[in-house]
Amino acid sequence: MSDKGDAERISAGDVILNCRGVHVRFGGVMALSDVDFQVREGTITALIGPNGAGKTTLLNVVSGMVPSSEGTVGLLGRDMTRSPAWERAKAGAVRTFQNLEVFTTMNVLENVMTGAHRVVRYGALSALFKTPGFFSGERRCRELAEEKLTFVGLKDDWNLPAGDLPYGRQRLLELARALAAQPRILLLDEPAAGLNTTETRALAKLIQRVRDELGVTVAIVEHDMDLIMGVSDAITVLHFGRVIASGTPGDIQKNPEVVAAYLGEEAE
């Protein structure tokens, strides 16, 4: 059965990402130990914890960049534990990174079109001989890119070299490119890193719009607790590679283990 068919069977509120008993070892170091992490369709679910807790490692497992030593990863109703990263992206799991990954010598529109090319495809021969299929594909890529640039507020910057954008707008560009890939679940790894307070507040509203207007489920790793508490429907807390709490933002704020392990550190 096709990836699309599997995805269509996931209805609102169902678990779209389901990690069970995930272990990751790097040599003799246990980076993740028996981690369960679930994300429901139509939610913003946060993964938080102190530095070194294993948050990015878990995102790497979900996106297929790091294999789990034990455990399973379910995406969109399929067991994708051993699936390569490209197959997970094709199924609808799209990722951004802590460090900016924009193509600085390409213009803004071209950057976002690279994301659209994940879902709008034509063969090598079509590109070589410039067939009607090639031109229709390129038109669709441009339409998707322009749509996502408008969504994040970069429409007027479409022709600028990406490297000329201020850092905060490059962050928006990276988000637009990910959205152009038409994700079912968007995996955000510290999207507010390096942003000032005003930019972070704007980003929080944008992430909520991704869920509410585009219908995209979001899993987010982030250190900015104001952002996390303001946008999240559910939160899972990692500490030394283990889950110590899961629940609503209100539950997490009142959890003594979390206060001791993470929130307490922020308050000091």
Residue in 36, 70, 30 with CA at minimum distance from that of residue 241: 30
What burial letters (b/e) apply to 234-260, b meaning 16+ CB within 10 Å? bbbbbbebebbbbeebeebeebeebbe
Query: Residues of 147-164 as b/e, b for ≥16 C-beta within 10 angstroms?
Result: ebbebbebeebbeeebee
Over range 134-138, report the average pLDDT. Answer: 60
Q: Which band of pLDDT confidence, cut at 50, 70 and 90, is reported for residue 101?
A: confident
Longest dimension (CA), the chain: 64
Asked if 83 contacts 3 with a C-beta cutoff of 8 angstroms, the reply is no
Residue 257 has pLDDT above 60, yes or no: yes
Of 9, 12, 15, 73, nearest to 40 (Cα)?
Answer: 15
* Mode of pairing for the β-strands spanning 29-40 and 15-26: antiparallel
The pTM of this model reads: 0.87
Q: Please write the tens of the pLDDT for every residue from 154-184.
A: 999 999 999 999 999 999 999 999 999 999 9
The structure tokens 């996502």 sit at 148
Domains of the chain: 1-92+184-268 (3.40.50.300), 105-182 (no CATH)
Count of all residues that appear for the chain in the document? 268
Whether the pLDDT of residue 134 is over 60: the answer is no
At 211-255, the pLDDT tens digits run 999 999 999 999 999 999 999 999 999 999 999 999 999 999 999
Alpha helices per DSSP H over the chain: 3-8, 55-63, 85-91, 108-116, 124-129, 132-152, 167-180, 197-214, 225-231, 249-254, 256-258, 264-267
Residue matched to tokens 């889950």: 243
- Residue 223 amino acid letter: H
- In 3D space, the residue among 174, 217, 255 whose CA is nearest the CA of residue 62 turns out to be 217
Ranges 46-55, 130-139, 236-245: which has the least confidence: 130-139
